[in-house]
């Protein structure tokens, strides 16, 4: 695991990185988490890399309200049978 500080987009951030091997597979997964270094230390982004593939998730709008609409074809839970 490593931790470093740098500047991204004009703001100071901490970058926390680590690697892990998935049990039984031998596949190495690399993670990098970028956190705000000033104010409230909240995640800004997370990057996952494995097998030549990389995906970055950008996080933001902390503390702002949001709404999730119910899909128009929702099925009531009471009508679902085992």
Percent helix, strand, coil in the chain (nearest 5)? 5, 50, 45
Mean pLDDT of 39-43: 90
User: CA separation (Å) from 30 to 27, 33, 55, 74?
Assistant: 10, 10, 11, 38
What SS3 class is residue 1?
A: coil
Domain boundaries, the chain: 1-52
For residue range 48-64, list pLDDT tens digits in order.
999 899 999 999 999 99
Instruction: Answer yes or no: is pLDDT of 26 > 80.
Output: yes
């Amino acid at each position: 695991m490593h931790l470093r500080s740098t500047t991204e987009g004009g703001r100071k951030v901490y970058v926390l990185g680590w690697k892990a091997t998935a049990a039984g597979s031998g596949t190495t997964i690399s993670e990098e988490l970028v956190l705000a270094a000033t104010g409230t230390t909240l995640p800004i982004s997370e990057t996952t890399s494995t097998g030549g593939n990389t995906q970055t998730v950008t996080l933001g709008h902390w503390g702002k309200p949001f709404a999730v609409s119910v899909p128009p074809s929702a099925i009531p839970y009471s009508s679902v049978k085992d």
